[in-house]
Amino acid sequence: MSDRKSTPKAGTGAGTAPRAAAPEVSARAAALPREALEIAAGYAFTGPALHLGALLWEGGCLPDAQIRVPLPMLNRHGLVAGATGTGKTKTLQLIAEQLSAQGVPVFLADVKGDLSGVAAPGRPGDKVGARAAEVQQRWAAKGCPAEFYALGGIGRGIPVRATITSFGPVLLSKVLRLNPTQEQSLGLIFHYADTKGLELVDLKDLRAVVAFLTSDEGKGELKGIGGLSTATAGVILRSLTAFEAQGMADFFGEPEFDTGELLRTAEDGRGVVSVLELAAVQDRPQLFSTFLMWLLADLFHDLPEVGDAERPKLVFFFDEAHLLFDDASEAFLDAITRTVRLIRSKGVGVFFVTQTPKDVPADVLGQLGNRIQHALRAFTPDDQKALKATVKTFPNSAYDLEELLTGLGTGEAVVTVLSEKGAPTPVAATRLRAPESLMGPLDAAELERAVTSSALYGRYAQAVDRESAYERLQASRGGKGPDEIRGGKGPDEIREAVGGAGEHRARQQKEQPSVVEQVVGSGMFKSLARSIGTQIGREITRSVFGTARRRR
């Protein structure tokens, strides 16, 4: 660490916060060097806060200068960044544990498969003991209440699925890698399915609708959808077929996951930590990153406005965040920016986890008030550019940040957060605390027991394939498959079948009371009812991402 330091300038975020908070500094901390005292004063909050670690100054750790983040400010979003192996995962674990203890539910995207240990007590050892002593931490081994999920049931976890309708055309265009024109055309196809009462539950439903529209029998219907050409519809159909052939069908269907499950607390009042295992789908980054965005968008639909709450309703950690933004259309990036900006007022905090801040678009980065920056490497010219760009994103600092960021050790970071008044705190080099839960994955057998013993397992484990667009269209052409759409019933009969879906669903709804009596006790009922209960014959209201607004 460099000895070069300067007093934060008056009038900057780094300079004003310490003076306001200085009276809260402890008597022991008052003996710190002047510059360190000013930094420490910026973190002396009066309300509930999470403890991150102790201040680093001139190569030493100052345990009397504690670095914290106010609990109410954790819905103001944040960034955890740093090179591989610098301790980002342990930082997530440290924050998740304390949020859970404060009664705040947490969502963790577990890309590498090593966050399941948050559910088990940690193991004491010399390294843990030494770190706890250095940062004045009263370390005690303890785990958190946790649920484990897996996309489509691929991997160890309760299956998380989404219907095609709720996923919507904008997010689906991202995973299909469609261009802006094709994305708009897919939106028209969704509009057509909505107005015709063709429920899009899984991939074969959407593929069947597009196949119908590109067939001789469906060309008349295609003409009625403004701006959708046969060629573009054909491209979308081929993309869907290839996507399904890659084994992606498991992620779409029913029972659809109710994102309200992420907001639960345990009987003892601690927040439940929801861990979504993504290690089994690491080779499908476009899919899992977009699925994470679907989770956020769905929460955004359902949660009421709460303004500035005393504590967040949920804190969402979005690992490998750069994958979300890679090759994203301008419309998609705009939608992400709006969602991140607006979901704060619904009590949800979002932390993006990636290697450098430049991985996150500037408009999104500007929404992230809390920053934990681990070490960066500067081995190449590109690395050096990234380092300089990272330094520019911090408030004025008493450190030589370029030198500091390349010299931090594992479990050390540069921190700046929002104070209780919403102003940036001084930049603080920090030796972080040790997590109290297990720093590593659970044993496979233990994880399996945790998954199968969950009350949610019976609700989501078994996939359901009910009548939807595929079955309706297949029935209209005598039971032939979607690739045999030619030669079935005549055009008039097919159009009558498509147009009559609303009437058919109305008849089903009249029979619903007897069905409810039979299945209302089933764990699957809640998920199925959300989709069945949508009024057919009226276009589903769609959000900024094109995802369907559902009733719960």
Predicted pLDDT at 21: 40
Q: Quick one: pLDDT at residue 26?
A: 58
More reliable by pLDDT, 35 or 147: 147
Q: Distance of CA 398 to CAs 252, 301, 541, Å?
A: 51, 43, 51
Q: What is the pLDDT of residue 123?
A: 95
222 confidence band (pLDDT: 50, 70, 90): confident
Does the structure show a pLDDT above 70 at 13? Answer: no
Pairing of strands 60-70, 49-57: antiparallel
Q: With H, G, I as helix, E, B as strand and everything else as coil, classify residue 267.
A: coil
Closest CA to 119 of 142, 88, 152, 149: 142
Residue in 480, 479, 482, 476 with CA at minimum distance from that of residue 210 = 482
Average pLDDT for 346-365:
91
Judge contact between 538 and 199, C-beta under 8 A. Answer: no
* pLDDT value of position 378: 86
Alpha-carbon distance of 549 to 185, in angstroms, equals 21
How many CA within 13 A on the CB side of residue 452? 6
Q: What is the pLDDT of residues 306-349, one digit of tens each?
A: 878 889 999 999 888 888 888 777 877 888 888 888 899 999 99
User: Has residue 480 got a pLDDT over 70?
Assistant: no
What is the pairing mode between strands 49-57 and 428-432?
A: antiparallel
What pLDDT, on a 0 to 100 scale, did the predictor assign at position 479? 52
Q: What is the pLDDT of residue 543?
A: 57
Mean pLDDT of 458-462: 94
Report DSSP letters for 54-81, one per residue.
EEEETTEEEEEEEEEEEGGGGGS-EEEE
DSSP string, 406-440: HH--TTEEEEE-B-TTSPBPPPEEEEEPPPSB-SS
> By the 8 A CB rule, do 238 and 207 touch?
no
Mean pLDDT of all residues in 284-292? 84
Beta carbons of 384 and 36 less than 8 angstroms apart: no
Asked if residue 527 has pLDDT above 50, the reply is no
pLDDT at 449 over 90: yes
Q: What is the overall mean pLDDT for the chain?
A: 82
Question: What tokens does 289 get?
Answer: 């990153």
Q: What is the pTM of this model?
A: 0.82
330 vs 277: CA distance, rounded Å = 29
Integer Cα distance of 57 and 219 in angstroms: 71
Per-residue confidence at 507, pLDDT binned at 50, 70, 90?
Answer: very low
Tell me the pLDDT tens digit for each residue of 112-152: 888 999 999 999 999 999 999 999 999 999 999 999 999 99
Of 540 and 386, the structure prediction assigns the larger pLDDT to 386
Taking the C-alpha atoms of residue 477 and residue 147, their distance in angstroms, rounded to an integer, is 44
Per-residue pLDDT band at 513 (split at 50, 70, 90): very low
Q: What's the confidence (pLDDT) of residue 499?
A: 52
| Per-residue confidence (pLDDT) for residue 478, from 0 to 100 | 61
Please give the C-alpha separations between residue 427 and each of 5, 281, 313, 385, in angstroms, as whole numbers.
12, 37, 27, 21
Type of residue found at 61: C
Average pLDDT, integer, range 222-228: 80
Side-chain half-sphere exposure of 51, counting CA atoms within 13 A: 17
The DSSP secondary-structure symbol of 441 reads: P
When pLDDT is averaged across residues 293-316 and rounded to a whole number, the result is: 89
Position 192 pLDDT exceeds 70: yes
pLDDT at 504 > cutoff 80: no
Cβ–Cβ under 8 Å, residues 324 and 292: yes
Angstrom distances, CA of residue 430 to CA of 354, 363, 414: 19, 27, 6
Backbone angles phi, psi at 476, to 5 degrees: -70, -15
Single-letter code of the amino acid located at 82:
G
Residue of 282 and 57 predicted with greater confidence: 57
Residue 453 φ then ψ, to 5° = -85, -5
Alpha-carbon distance of 244 to 240, in angstroms, equals: 6
Question: In a 3-state reduction of DSSP, which class is residue 454?
Answer: coil
* pLDDT of 10 higher than 50: no
Residues 303, 296: Cα–Cα separation, whole Å: 11
Three-state secondary structure call for residue 88: helix
Upstream peptide bond of 255 is cis (omega within 30 degrees of 0): yes
Does residue 17 register a pLDDT over 70? no
Q: What percent of the chain has pLDDT over 70?
A: 81
Using 50, 70 and 90 to split pLDDT, how confident is the model at 483?
A: very low
